[in-house]
Amino acid sequence: MTPIPKVPKVLDALIPLVFLIALLVLTIIIFGTDFDGLSGSNQIVLILSATVAGSIAVFKLGYTWDALQDGVVKSISSAMSSILILFLIGALAGTWLLSGIVPAMIYYGLQVISPTLFLFAACFISAIVSTATGSSWTTVATVGVALLGIGKTLGFEEGIIAGAIISGAYFGDKMSPLSDTTNLAPAIAGTDLFTHIRHMAKTTIPTMLITLILFFVIGLNYQTEGNVEDVKAISAIISSTFTLSPWLFLVPVIVIFMIIKKVPALPALLVGALLGGVFALIFQPQIIARVVGEEGSFAYLGFKGVMMAMYGKISIVTESALVNELLVTKGMAGMLNTIWLVICAMVFGGIMEESGMLKVLTEAMIRKVHRVGSLIATTAATCVFFNITASDQYLAILIPGRMFADEFKKRGLKPENLSRTLEDSATVTSVLVPWNTCGATQKAVLGVETFVYAPYCFFNIISPIMTILYGYLNIGINYYDKEEELA
């Protein structure tokens, strides 16, 4: 008979967590703050931390390796849809560059967006698109990439541009009824979708207004390095390099329409990538020939060029170094380091969850909760904790949602209070953690280090603070009445 494993103590659970944090700090000290954490160091840190957690689970708690391995496989399986989406985003970015879709977005955007209003507009546009699609990842990978190019052309630092884009993108990720997290949080908490959205609006709309005001004020006072002549020169280079047409925007419109119609993200992104390839054949045969770099028939060059854009790195060289920076994509291959990081993070998170270490840490936090404000603050902190340790946005919603549901009910709090807290903390802070699936993805898509853009993700930073503030001030809290409690 297989012996029953022991329940871990808090110290058991803290050891691998402290080890993880210490190694990450050491890595930053050795490699510097501007190193690319996706290139291998963070992956090794996560594997070593998983080894420490696994050793404690096997040699002290009595778990078998087979049980831990099942937990790891289950954890990685939960991230498989994210991994496939990453591959398709890489392919989409490649064909949208080759077809001139992203260059067209940059070109027309430069004609209508002024430097003063750019940060405000980038955040607002991203919020509109993400609300319509329900996907922060799709928003960042499409209009976000174009907005980043526009902002860099105007002379803004890439960190603050990415912060504006991500702030807007995660507004829709929270509020859109099409978003998976917006559906997951109320399902876990035990409320319905639209009650959840209405209740969440009480904290989310003020947070977004503060964010937009901050970007507006920063834009008014930001001294950009770009000037009107630079913008004109870059616009001229793009227009002379690509065949630009409003018809190119048909592809992103189709993708957005598919997602609004609840077509799953994977087929929608695949259609977007393939349509990008078709439009490249129609509008940019001269670009395809430059990318392939050899002679051949139209069919040969077209097939090879589109394939190269989907799977690997392509670059379109012009006389402007800045424009050259905008006209580079890495295709599916460019996502491999991110996927490597996601898998390593899931190994660590899987062992921590399977061994019960994550659960015991959460239960230790509940013991000191006495007031409604402290309960909400503890729930929010736990969500952030799981984003850091489990490295997955969904686990950061699922586990605290299960852990705190009964406690919220005991305090007379309706489930929409819990679902709002989960979204205000788990959904939005995932992108601030470099080794989280969301943080790793947005770093890979935008090419901006997580620690570079994180200080400017005002919406993501303010959201958990806002929900905690509402809890302590007892603002916008829904309680059961006596009849409902009896029911």
Q: What residues does 315 pair with on adjacent strands? A: 328
Q: How confident is the model at residue 391 (pLDDT cuts 50, 70, 90)?
A: confident
Q: How confident is the model at residue 310 (pLDDT cuts 50, 70, 90)?
A: very high
Mark which of 315, 334, 353 sits at the end of a domain. 334
* Nearest Cα to Cα of residue 439 among 362, 384, 376, 381: 384
Q: What is the pLDDT of residues 316-328, one digit of tens each?
A: 988 877 678 778 8
Q: What is the pLDDT of residues 25-43, one digit of tens each?
A: 787 677 754 455 556 777 8
For residue 165, what pLDDT is reported?
Answer: 95
Q: Where are the alpha helices (DSSP H) in 38-144?
A: 41-59, 65-78, 80-98, 101-112, 118-133, 136-139
Q: Is residue 2 part of a domain?
A: no
Mark which of 279, 312, 334 sits at the end of a domain. 334
Structure tokens at 346: 């899931």
Give the Cα separation of 63 and 65 in Å (integer).
Answer: 7
**Cα 48 from chain centroid (whole Å):** 25
Q: Are residues 92 and 53 in the same domain?
A: no
Q: How confident is the model at residue 224 (pLDDT cuts 50, 70, 90)?
A: low
H or E stretch covering 314: strand 314-315
For residue 482, what pLDDT is reported?
Answer: 65
Give the Cα separation of 64 and 217 in Å (integer).
Answer: 57
Q: Are residues 196 and 318 in the same domain?
A: yes
Give the Cα separation of 20 and 14 in Å (integer).
Answer: 10
Give the Cα separation of 265 and 272 in Å (integer).
Answer: 10
Structure tokens at 228: 């009107």
Q: Is residue 1 part of a domain?
A: no
Give the Cα separation of 253 and 34 in Å (integer).
Answer: 36
For residue 159, what pLDDT is reported?
Answer: 94
**Cα 206 from chain centroid (whole Å):** 22
Average pLDDT over all residues of the chain: 85
Tally of structural domains, the chain: 2
Name the DSSP class of 315.
E
Q: Tokens 């309706």 — which residue?
A: 414
Q: How confident is the model at residue 200 (pLDDT cuts 50, 70, 90)?
A: very high
For residue 154, what pLDDT is reported?
Answer: 84
Total-model pTM: 0.72
Give the Cα separation of 42 and 435 in Å (integer).
Answer: 7
Neighbouring C-alpha atoms within 13 Å toward the C-beta of 52: 19
* Nearest Cα to Cα of residue 360 among 304, 403, 325: 403
Give the Cα separation of 174 and 151 in Å (integer).
Answer: 25
* Apex 408 CA angle, 404 and 410, nearest 5: 115
For residue 61, what pLDDT is reported?
Answer: 92
* Nearest Cα to Cα of residue 260 among 131, 168, 370: 131
At residue 11, φ and ψ (nearest 5 deg) are -65, -40
Q: Tokens 């819990």 — which residue?
A: 418
Please answer whether residues 62 and 464 qualify as being in contact, where contact means their C-beta atoms are separated by less than 8 angstroms: no
Q: Is residue 463 part of a domain?
A: yes
* Nearest Cα to Cα of residue 308 among 329, 286, 282: 329
For residue 338, pLDDT beyond 90: no
Domain containing 371: what range? 10-74+337-486
Q: SS3 of 5, please?
A: coil
Please answer whether residues 142 and 96 qualify as being in contact, where contact means their C-beta atoms are separated by less than 8 angstroms: yes
Q: Are residues 134 and 271 in the same domain?
A: yes
For residue 169, pLDDT beyond 60: yes
For residue 383, pLDDT beyond 80: yes
Q: Is residue 144 part of a domain?
A: yes
Q: Is 319 exposed, middle or buried (0-12, 13-18, 19+ CB in 10 A)?
A: exposed
For residue 130, what pLDDT is reported?
Answer: 84
Q: What is the pLDDT of residues 134-159, one digit of tens each?
A: 778 878 887 788 889 888 888 899 99
Q: Are residues 20 and 117 in the same domain?
A: no
At residue 329, φ and ψ (nearest 5 deg) are -135, 160
* Apex 331 CA angle, 86 and 137, nearest 5: 30
For residue 132, what pLDDT is reported?
Answer: 65
Mark which of 334, 354, 378 sits at the end of a domain. 334
Q: Is residue 139 part of a domain?
A: yes
Q: Is residue 446 part of a domain?
A: yes
Q: Are residues 241 and 190 in the same domain?
A: yes
Least confident of 285-299, 356-370, 470-484: 356-370
* Apex 139 CA angle, 138 and 143, nearest 5: 120
Report, in angstroms and rounded to the nearest whole number, the Rg of the chain calculated over CA atoms.
24
Give, rounded to a whole angstrom, the gap between the first and last alpha carbons of the chain.
44
Q: Are residues 106 and 147 in the same domain?
A: yes
* Nearest Cα to Cα of residue 458 among 120, 10, 59: 120
Q: Are residues 310 and 377 in the same domain?
A: no
Q: What is the pLDDT of residues 424-456, one digit of tens each?
A: 999 999 999 988 888 888 988 898 999 899 999
Give the Cα separation of 437 and 425 in Å (integer).
Answer: 16
Burial 467-487 (b: 16+ CB within 10 A, else e): bbbbbeeeebbeeeeeeeeee
Give the Cα separation of 463 and 207 in Å (integer).
Answer: 6
Q: Are residues 365 and 232 in the same domain?
A: no
Q: Check residues 351 and 115 and name the one with the higher pLDDT.
A: 351
For residue 1, what pLDDT is reported?
Answer: 56
Q: Are residues 101 and 178 in the same domain?
A: yes
Q: Are residues 121 and 181 in the same domain?
A: yes
Least confident of 27-41, 88-102, 299-313, 432-446: 27-41
Q: Tokens 């912060």 — which residue?
A: 163
For residue 286, what pLDDT is reported?
Answer: 94
Q: Are residues 61 and 148 in the same domain?
A: no
Please answer whether residues 422 and 439 qualify as being in contact, where contact means their C-beta atoms are separated by less than 8 angstroms: no
For residue 387, pLDDT beyond 60: yes
Q: Are residues 387 and 444 in the same domain?
A: yes
